[in-house]
Amino acid sequence: DSGVTQTPKHLITATGQRVTLRCSPRSGDLSVYWYQQSLDQGLQFLIQYYNGEERAKGNILERFSAQQFPDLHSELNLSSLELGDSALYFCASSVDRGISGANVLTFGAGSRLTVL
Amino acid sequence: AQTVTQSQPEMSVQEAETVTLSCTYDTSESDYYLFWYKQPPSRQMILVIRQEAYKQQNATENRFSVNFQKAAKSFSLKISDSQLGDAAMYFCAYREYMDSNYQLIWGAGTKLIIKP
């Protein structure tokens, strides 16, 4: 157990729907990162939050949004879902805000989203 | 943009033997960090080893070691005495400093099969 908790583990939904993925970071970590991993692909960075504030944004679609709450858990909202959004969504956490190159990310087990 | 290339989609090795996974990257930076992550069937992303570019000595972690060739921009992972539990996807990642923040750029991964 890495200490990063993601729910749900699996989610099946239909096109056009909206889902919310949840992440609780490891105790003491202030940064939360969201990544998307499509089939047989590497990870694509979506967005990072540090202590409640957006820190960096990657290739996140406008249909997607995220936030980090005062208790540091984060939610990734995916709306108007398309077939191509089917993927594994990872959350990772770290203690700092990303200014250290040596910073190591701890990953959750991922949420597998299937859009039918 | 920097890129990370893993040219071997799949590798197989006999149990107890040694295997090397290749990774090359493209950067104009002189100081950066490189990582190898392992993703077993459980989907958890697990840090295997980390290398700091300014350190000439190759990083080692038990049976895992890297061959870091900075001039060639190569960062290969050697797994000695392969075990069945080493079977996984292995991802190489480069830490890039962008927009006052460090972000990971990922390779597409290499699937490692261990033959008993």
pLDDT digits 0-9 by tens, A21-74: 999 999 999 999 999 998 767 789 999 999 999 988 888 999 999 999 999 999
Indicate if the pLDDT at residue A100 is higher than 70: no
Q: Show the DSSP H helices in chain A as ranges.
A: none
B114 touches chain A (CB under 8 A): no
- Chain A contact present for B95, CB below 8 A: yes
Contacts of B55 (CB under 8 A, 6+ apart): none
| A55 touches B: beta carbon within 8 Å | yes
Question: pLDDT tens for residues A77-92?
Answer: 999 999 999 999 999 9
Suggest the residue from A9, A95, A105 to mutate for an interface test with chain B (most B CBs closer than 10 A): A105
Q: How far apart, in Å, are the Cα atoms of B89 and each of A33, A47, B17, B47, B114?
A: 21, 23, 18, 12, 12
B25 touches chain A (CB under 8 A): no
Amino acid in position B31: D
Q: Which of residues 39-68 of B touch A (CB under 8 A)?
A: 42-47, 50, 52
Q: What is the pLDDT of residue B97?
A: 73
Tokens standing for B110?
């290499």
pLDDT for position B69: 94
Q: How many CB atoms lie within 10 A of CB A41?
A: 14
3-state DSSP assignment of residue A85: helix
Mean pLDDT of B17-28: 95
pLDDT above 70 for B79 = yes
C-alpha to C-alpha distance for B45 and B26, rounded to whole angstroms: 23
CB–CB of B103 and A56 under 8 A?
Answer: yes
Q: What is the model's pLDDT at position B43? A: 85
Q: Please identify which residue in the block is written with the tokens 């890297």.
A: B66
Q: What is the mean pLDDT of chain B?
A: 91
